[in-house]
Chains A and B, each alone.
Chain A
Amino acid sequence: MPKAFVPLTQFVNESKLTPREHPLDQPVARWTEEEVLGEEVVEAGVAILRTRGCYWSIKEGCSMCGYFNDTVPGGVSTDMLYSQWKKIRHSLKGKRYAKIYTSGSFLDPTEVPLDFANDVMSDMADMGIEKVLVESLPEFVHPKHFSYSNSPKIEIAIGLESSNPVVLDKSVNKRLLWPHFVKVCEIAHENGAEVKAYVLLKPPYLGERDAIEDAVQSATDAAPYVDKISINPVNVQKNTVVEKLWFRDEWTAPWLWSVVEVLERCKDLPAKVYSDPTGGGTRRGAHNCNDCNSKILDALKEHRLGHGNLKGLECECRPRWEVLKHQSSYRRNGAEPHGYRRGFGNGRRF
């Protein structure tokens, strides 16, 4: 494992709070969303299992990740996982695509027991679900962790975050090694799974332009080894380093224009690159000015579903973004003056 950057490790640990108590027999959330399956757009069922959570977040954790807030530090018994599953499977009826998240790694057997995972997978296969997406840290992508007796097609999403070791070490606090990532992508493919990589846009401390360059470079590096790349603009989650920096005005969420630029520059890569910004259009998520947020978010959705391109998007705030991008690396943090995105006018927000 690469060496830790000690100050950031401390900062991450100090930012965290013990999660409050949660009902153990309820999943964190369930919803449906539109997704692409093969060439078609289908309605996908999504659920988040409440588990013990990510082993890394128990040890240290990543600077932007607040998913530990939804976890149960003492762990969740297998019985309780089955009662959660009962509620989830109900909402997956008739779906062809499912996404089963945990606030950690689905493939970590100490977080999600192998027998339980096996039952869930065969249940989904019986329900006629064709493809299932799970998330995992690369260290758990091992054939014995996903060789189910019967299952839909498995898609493993791995948080690469960045292919730059400096960003991983000093901004994200993730001890991922690039050669290891490449290796697990191969292992997944050899064992019949697809791989989706998450790439961060604007992790903490980075300015707008460095962030765009890092995301484009990471996507370019990862594209030959994965099937899909999701560009994830960093959003402000509770009790994280990112939230602290955001409260202190040392970092702001990226512009949607930056998302558009990254996707435009990645359109010819061998993997499909798209983005579904969490919290898009809010202060805690990627946003532009109030006038164009929803327009850009709609365009991103169309792009993700393969219906349209990102050409011809315009707004008054776009030249402002250009000016900021130009000078962002001289500002030495990820912040900008309050109200800049709306031109310091009398708008309500941003």
Chain B
Amino acid sequence: MEPLAHEGLARLLQIDDSLQTPHVISREDLTDSQDLVSGGTIKIDKPVDLPPTPLGLDSNKAPYLQLSEEIAVLDNASSLQPQKLVECASHFRKEAGYSRLLYAPAVEPSDMPILAYLGVDVFDDLNVELRSATGWSLDSGSWTKVNTKTTDLQSQNREELERWLLKIRTSIMNGTLRELVEMTSLHNPRVSQILHHSTSLLIEKGARRNVMIRANNLSLENPSVVDFQQRLSDYVPPAKNMVLLVLPCSARKPYFKSSSHKRFYNTIKEVDNYLALHIVSVTSPLGLVPRELEFCYPAAHYDIAVTGDWSASEVQMLREQFSRLEPEKHYLKAIVHAGSSSRIITELLRERKVDTIDTEAEKPSSSEGLEILQEITRTAIAEIPVLSSKDRAKGEAIGLAKFQYGESSPFLTESEISGHMPYKLRCGDLATISPRVGGLGLTVAGAAKYAANGGPSITAEDFKLVGDLFAIGVKSYDGHWAIGDQVVIKQNGRVTGVGIAKMNPEEMISMGRGLAVEVRHHA
């Protein structure tokens, strides 16, 4: 089997030429056990033994999976309490490993996307058979009662179920499985509860895919969004005693590339000491995005319907983000130039006792708006200590490195910082800005230091590494990562490459095929 793509805990696996998981088997692919002690067989590409049914066991207690040589079964997947199910999901790969397929018997089509998102590989059509027998027709995962007697409902529903699984697989390939899950959760309390409780598990263990988030109200719980928000606590602005400038977000990402932000920048550039202004954009669902973090996923990868209204939950989210940024500690004052959001932002800043000026420009990027902005910034930063571009660059690198690498970030920023945001910032010969990585991308020299400072590393077999690293070439690993994180490649005790992980740690060992690391730099 070969993993083709991951999203969350979901895997798109190539089993053989014509078979991919998540896969649905039909009842004819199952055989019965002759007694209660064995489990019968299941035919995926070939018939394999199922583990015995969980007689006498308490489904609320670990181990949650029943294992045979090749299959792990999640019994009661359709009835486990949402929170319990998420807890089980956090144990899936620990109990089953990566070489067993995970089968969830007798689940409803509407539960399949979320279960796939949490790591289930194989489903069956047992519930579809029961629905068909009572005259219900399947359409995109939901049921409609048909009044006319249809002779062939079972085979029609069976085909529709195949299409539903195809949709799940395509979504994993495209990185849009979460959208499909959100759609099925809309009027399904069970799926929404599971989705709600799975956020932190997905942040911790889910694959990070730099795909566009087409946001809506549900996206406030998107793991990438929540992760970004939480890590804002790690972030520090470039220097002390700056002036905070809050700007609206833009449709074009990263914001600094948009026409409105170019105009803002050209306007403030004309003011003396403009480097003392720190631009933070206000947006939903992310909240606050400081300029240095605009490359970081998902700040440059989302799209949301702009209504100009802030819902109560969005306002609360913004309040929380301000408490993470702690503007009262870092800035002398704040200027708010965010159009229709200005009033709310000003209130939130004043709640935190920040000296705040609202430009009150209704159209922030119009020429009138820009004039007002220039006027106000000029007076506001007139008496602020001068910030040199060198100090500012150093601060930018520290802030970004801390956001990306957390505690171990000093290994990067103790080097000589040069250039400036956005594209030319460098940490000596250790790291440069990389939109692909989403922030500071390590060089091979940086990778060696990263590994020495506790960064995750992979030991590969001894061969000349050219191009990417595949699972077959992985010998062992050290440390933890999620798919999408940077990992260091070592061979014979020497660092020979650095790249982006495409499989989970244990999975690289279990799989005989597939891309393990997208290598960015070779020694």
Report the stretch among A119-127, A150-158, A323-331 that lies at the interface. A323-331
Contact A333 B58 (CB under 8 A): no
Known: A248-B76, A250-B76. A331 touches B129 (CB 8 A): no
16 interchain pairs, CB-CB under 8 A: A11-B56, A166-B35, A166-B37, A169-B56, A170-B56, A171-B55, A173-B56, A249-B76, A250-B59, A323-B133, A327-B126, A327-B130, A330-B32, A330-B40, A335-B79, A335-B106
**Residues in chain B near residue A335, CB distance under 8 A:** 76, 79, 106
Of A164, A327, A343, the most chain B CB neighbours within 10 A belong to A327
From the candidates B37, B53, B133, B136, name the one contacting A333 in the complex (CB within 8 A). B53
Is B214 close to A, CB under 8 A? no
Contact B79 A323 (CB under 8 A): no
Interface 1/0 per residue, A4-16 and B, CB below 8 Å: 0101101100100
Is B27 close to A, CB under 8 A? yes
A10 to B53, CA, bound (A): 19
Which A residue's beta carbon lies closest to that of B57?
A7
Is A179 close to B, CB under 8 A? no
Which B residue's beta carbon lies closest to that of A10?
B58
A56 to B129, CA, bound (A): 42
**Residues in chain B near residue A336, CB distance under 8 A:** 130
**Residues in chain A near residue B129, CB distance under 8 A:** 323, 327
Residues of A whose CB lies within 8 Å of any CB of B are 5, 7-8, 10-11, 14, 164, 166-167, 169-171, 173, 205-206, 210, 244, 248-250, 319-320, 323-324, 327, 329-333, 335-337, 340, 343-344
Residues of B whose CB lies within 8 Å of any CB of A are 27, 30, 32-33, 35-37, 40, 53-61, 73, 75-76, 78-81, 105-106, 108, 124, 126-127, 129-131, 133-136, 143, 145
Known: A327-B126, A327-B129, A343-B135. A332 touches B56 (CB 8 A): no
Known: A171-B55, A205-B53. A330 touches B30 (CB 8 A): yes
Taking the closest CB of chain A, its distance from the CB of B440, in whole angstroms, is 49
**Residues in chain B near residue A173, CB distance under 8 A:** 56
Known: A250-B59, A337-B127, A344-B134. A331 touches B106 (CB 8 A): yes
Contact B130 A324 (CB under 8 A): yes
Taking the closest CB of chain A, its distance from the CB of B125, in whole angstroms, is 9
Contact B27 A171 (CB under 8 A): no
Of B27, B54, B79, B129, the most chain A CB neighbours within 10 A belong to B79
Taking the closest CB of chain B, its distance from the CB of A89, in whole angstroms, is 42
A244 to B135, CA, bound (A): 32
Taking the closest CB of chain A, its distance from the CB of B43, in whole angstroms, is 12
Known: A330-B30, A337-B108. A5 touches B126 (CB 8 A): no
Which B residue's beta carbon lies closest to that of A323?
B133
From the candidates B58, B75, B81, name the one contacting A332 in the complex (CB within 8 A). B75
Contact B56 A330 (CB under 8 A): no
Which B residue's beta carbon lies closest to that of A245?
B59
Contact A332 B133 (CB under 8 A): no
Besides A170-B36, A249-B76, 17 other A-B contacts (C-beta < 8 A)? A7-B58, A8-B57, A166-B35, A170-B55, A171-B56, A205-B56, A210-B36, A248-B59, A248-B79, A250-B79, A327-B27, A327-B130, A329-B32, A329-B40, A330-B27, A332-B54, A332-B75
Among all A-B residue pairs, the 3 with the closest Cβ atoms: A8-B56, A249-B79, A170-B56
**Residues in chain A near residue B54, CB distance under 8 A:** 205, 332-333
From the candidates B33, B61, B73, B134, name the one contacting A340 in the complex (CB within 8 A). B134
A170 to B136, CA, bound (A): 37
Contact B106 A205 (CB under 8 A): no
A163 to B32, CA, bound (A): 21
**Residues in chain B near residue A167, CB distance under 8 A:** 36
A335 to B107, CA, bound (A): 11
**Residues in chain A near residue B76, CB distance under 8 A:** 248-250, 333, 335
Of B40, B58, B80, the most chain A CB neighbours within 10 A belong to B58
**Residues in chain A near residue B135, CB distance under 8 A:** 343
A327 to B32, CA, bound (A): 9
**Residues in chain B near residue A7, CB distance under 8 A:** 56-58, 61
Which B residue's beta carbon lies closest to that of A210?
B36
A205 to B36, CA, bound (A): 10
From the candidates B53, B81, B105, B131, name the one contacting A344 in the complex (CB within 8 A). B131
Which A residue's beta carbon lies closest to that of B55?
A170
A336 to B127, CA, bound (A): 8
A327 to B131, CA, bound (A): 13
Which B residue's beta carbon lies closest to that of A316?
B134
From the candidates B32, B55, B78, B134, name the one contacting A205 in the complex (CB within 8 A). B55
Taking the closest CB of chain B, its distance from the CB of A248, in whole angstroms, is 6
Which A residue's beta carbon lies closest to that of B136?
A344
Of A167, A169, A173, A248, the most chain B CB neighbours within 10 A belong to A248
**Residues in chain A near residue B81, CB distance under 8 A:** 248
A333 to B57, CA, bound (A): 11
**Residues in chain B near residue A343, CB distance under 8 A:** 134-135
Taking the closest CB of chain A, its distance from the CB of B127, in whole angstroms, is 6
Contact B36 A164 (CB under 8 A): yes
**Residues in chain A near residue B126, CB distance under 8 A:** 327, 330-331
**Residues in chain B near residue A324, CB distance under 8 A:** 130
**Residues in chain B near residue A327, CB distance under 8 A:** 27, 126, 129-130
A333 to B36, CA, bound (A): 12
**Residues in chain A near residue B56, CB distance under 8 A:** 5, 7-8, 11, 169-171, 173, 205
**Residues in chain B near residue A330, CB distance under 8 A:** 27, 30, 32, 40, 105-106, 124, 126
Which B residue's beta carbon lies closest to that of A344?
B134
A330 to B27, CA, bound (A): 8
**Residues in chain A near residue B78, CB distance under 8 A:** 249, 337
A173 to B54, CA, bound (A): 14
Taking the closest CB of chain B, its distance from the CB of A4, in whole angstroms, is 10
Which A residue's beta carbon lies closest to that of B61?
A7
A335 to B133, CA, bound (A): 17
Of A7, A166, A330, the most chain B CB neighbours within 10 A belong to A330
**Residues in chain B near residue A249, CB distance under 8 A:** 76, 78-79
A340 to B55, CA, bound (A): 24
**Residues in chain A near residue B55, CB distance under 8 A:** 166, 170-171, 205
Of A173, A337, A340, the most chain B CB neighbours within 10 A belong to A337
Which A residue's beta carbon lies closest to that of B33?
A329
Taking the closest CB of chain B, its distance from the CB of A188, in whole angstroms, is 30
Taking the closest CB of chain B, its distance from the CB of A185, in whole angstroms, is 25
Taking the closest CB of chain A, its distance from the CB of B147, in whole angstroms, is 12
**Residues in chain A near residue B133, CB distance under 8 A:** 319-320, 323
A335 to B27, CA, bound (A): 17
Of A11, A249, A323, A332, the most chain B CB neighbours within 10 A belong to A332
Taking the closest CB of chain B, its distance from the CB of A336, in whole angstroms, is 7
**Residues in chain A near residue B124, CB distance under 8 A:** 330
From the candidates A244, A248, A250, A340, name the one contacting B130 in the complex (CB within 8 A). A340
Taking the closest CB of chain B, its distance from the CB of A174, in whole angstroms, is 12
Which A residue's beta carbon lies closest to that of B50?
A332
A333 to B53, CA, bound (A): 7
Taking the closest CB of chain B, its distance from the CB of A14, in whole angstroms, is 8
Taking the closest CB of chain A, its distance from the CB of B185, in whole angstroms, is 19
A249 to B190, CA, bound (A): 14
Taking the closest CB of chain A, its distance from the CB of B310, in whole angstroms, is 40
**Residues in chain A near residue B136, CB distance under 8 A:** 344
Taking the closest CB of chain A, its distance from the CB of B122, in whole angstroms, is 13
Contact B106 A332 (CB under 8 A): yes
Taking the closest CB of chain B, its distance from the CB of A321, in whole angstroms, is 10
Known: A330-B105, A332-B54. A337 touches B130 (CB 8 A): yes
Which B residue's beta carbon lies closest to that of A172?
B56
A280 to B55, CA, bound (A): 25
A332 to B55, CA, bound (A): 9
Which B residue's beta carbon lies closest to that of A335?
B79
Taking the closest CB of chain A, its distance from the CB of B388, in whole angstroms, is 65
